[in-house]
Amino acid sequence: MNSPKAENREQGAGNDAALLRLGPGIFFKPFLGLFLRDLRVLMREIAPFMLRVGMQPLLFLFVFTFILPRMAGSNPLAAGSGPDFGTIILPGLMAVAIMFSGIAAVALPLSSEFGITREIDDRVMCPLPLWAVALEKVCFSAMQSIIAALLVIPMAYYIPAHPVVAHVANWYVLALVLVLSSLLAGSLGLVIGSTVSPKHIGLVFSIIVVPITFLGCVYYPWAGLKTIPWLQVAVLFNPIVYMSEGLRAAVTPSVAHMPWWAILVALVFFTAALGRLGLRGFLGRVLS
């Protein structure tokens, strides 16, 4: 006799197969409806959202690019004959905004929906395969991440004491990097939200998210690690490195950065790998 968990999985797989037989076009309206529902909720909380995604880059720019350069002795991080620190950090702050926004937009709601009240059951009643429900969460978080990244640009233009040298040579590549980075952040949020219990979400931010941020070439270019070869190799396993380097190559091409092909290949690889892992965890939690 099959266990209830196995029966739920068989029923879920049967429902997905039945929906697939009706054709992919039938998914569009419920997918869009779910997306617009989440967008409506976000618009009602637009002020907290703007504060959440804007406060960290605002304070960092204010302290390190506005206050310290005006103090006696200037800012040690900005010293040298190379690019100004504000120019170096702009793409890194955009990457951080994408990462934190993407994780928060997926992991935190999932930790609540998978809680005692099982709010996730209401969402999966939508006439969509379970994988499409997870995809909608990732896509919605990607939209928030792109907004968060774009909010950093006007801050970097008006706040720093020394002008930030930003020049977008190829807008199509910038859009591609933004989309891939945002999907990657959402996929990581799906992994965390579907595999970590709600009571440990805060711990994950402390032991995973913060370390990968500081070691993600956010505050320095990857090429600058050439004096520490072992670290330059080790950080290649950190997905946020490619987000920072991709945005650095697109927004501040005057700063040394990785080759385009390596950045794009890594972004696609990490997005696919984390997406697959997150989907597996999501299906397991929903059908359990």
Residues in CB range of 274: below 8 A, 6 or more apart: 184, 187, 188, 190, 191, 239
**Residue 5 pLDDT > 60, yes or no?**
no
Distance, first Cα to last Cα, the chain: 17
Average pLDDT of the segment spanning 33-55: 85
pLDDT of residue 234: 93
Which alpha helices (DSSP H) does the chain contain, by range? 4-21, 28-44, 46-61, 85-113, 120-124, 130-158, 171-195, 201-204, 210-214, 229-234, 239-251, 260-286
221 touches 255 (CB < 8 A) = yes
Distance CA 208, CA 210 (A): 6
Distance CA 239, CA 257 (A): 15
Type of residue at 235: V
Which of 95, 189, 89 shows the shortest CA–CA distance to 150? 95
Query: pTM of the predicted model, to two decimals?
Result: 0.83
CA 219 to chain CA centroid, Å, is: 17
Is residue 14 over pLDDT 80?
no
Question: Residue 138's CB: how many other CB atoms inside 10 A?
Answer: 26
Number of residues written out for the chain: 288
The pLDDT tens digits of the residues spanning 158-180 come to 888 777 878 887 888 899 999 99
Question: Are 267 and 95 a contacting pair, CB within 8 Å?
Answer: no
Q: If pLDDT is split at 50, 70 and 90, which confidence band does 8 have?
A: very low
Q: Is the pLDDT of residue 185 over 90?
A: yes
Higher pLDDT residue, 4 or 175?
175
Q: Say how far apart CA 49 and CA 105 lie, in whole Å.
A: 10
Question: Do 231 and 218 form a contact (C-beta atoms < 8 A)?
Answer: no
Write the DSSP symbol of residue 1.
Answer: -
pLDDT at 1 over 60: no
Contact 241, 118 (CB under 8 A): no
Mean pLDDT across 268-282: 92
